[in-house]
Amino acid sequence: MTPRKKQPQQTRQAILDAAGIGFSLKGYSATGLGGIVTAANLTKGALFHHFPDKCALATAWITEHLGAGIHTQWVSPLSAVSSLNAFRTLCQNCAKDLSVSDSTSSLVALTAEVAAHDPRLCAALDGVYQSWKSAVSERLEHGKSAGWIHRSIKPDVEAAFIVSSFSGFTVALKLSPTPQTRTTFLTALEGYLETLRADS
């Protein structure tokens, strides 16, 4: 019998993928290590070789996967925004495409569940939030300099509000996953974003 080749990176990725499905759909507390290794078709020994405990596994998933997801949904597209209309379109598209299991929703749900109870997870989650807020703030600051964001706007404050608004929207969508919930948020979002526009 030929020994199976060890593939540590693939094994680690399989564990993170399985853990991510569990954390996104069931939450941190309801996702057990046994279920993760079963879903990944691995052993607990393989899991503990890469992650000493569940918290370390969750921290890695938050930093690497949730962080990458927020970068794809927000940070990278923001870098190409060069007008308020483009910024509005990005925000609208994010709201329209938001699902209860995407990176934004998973970030919010996991934060609500664990942030107050574990400082390691709290720090990892805060790092993702800060990346998101910083990207929004930087683009609004750029807009002020370029003349398409009103000069009185404080980018850091507005970025925190925008991130908080989308965070709240993910919760509302879970409670009431109807077209009306999405339409109501989009209408409010449209009105708010107009307040950022520079004077003609």
Q: Which CATH number is 39's domain given?
A: 1.10.10.60
Q: Taking residues 5-13, what's their average pLDDT?
A: 83
Encode pLDDT of 67-93 as tens digits: 999 999 999 999 999 999 999 999 999
Range of the domain at 64: 54-194
Q: Would you say the C-alpha torsion 157, 161, 167, 168 has a positive or negative sign?
A: positive
Compute the distance between CA of residue 166 and CA of residue 95 in angstroms, rounded to an integer.
8
The domain total for the chain is 2
Per-residue pLDDT tens over the stretch 122-143 = 999 999 999 999 999 999 999 9
Q: What is the pLDDT of residues 28-70, one digit of tens each?
A: 999 999 999 999 999 999 999 999 999 999 999 999 999 999 9
Q: What tokens does 146 get?
A: 């370029």
Q: Is 70 found in the same domain as 40?
A: no
Q: What percent of the chain shows pLDDT beyond 90? A: 89
With cut-offs at 50, 70 and 90, classify the pLDDT of residue 8. confident
Q: What does pTM read for this prediction?
A: 0.90
Distance CA(125)–CA(97), nearest Å, equals 22
Give the total residue count for the chain.
200
Judge if 18 and 74 occupy the same domain.
no
**Domain match, 68 and 86 both:** yes
Distance CA 33, CA 27 (A): 13
Give residue 117's pLDDT.
81
Query: Would you say residue 138 lies in a domain?
Result: yes
* CA 182/CA 188 separation, integer angstroms: 10
Q: Match 């929703």 to its residue by tokens.
A: 105
First to last CA, the chain: 76
The mean pLDDT of 163-168, rounded to a whole number, is: 97
| Closest by Cα among 94, 61, 81 to 186 | 94
Q: Enumerate the H helices of the chain as residue ranges.
A: 8-26, 33-40, 44-50, 54-61, 67-70, 76-78, 84-97, 103-114, 119-146, 155-175, 179-194
- The CATH number covering residue 107 comes to 1.10.357.10
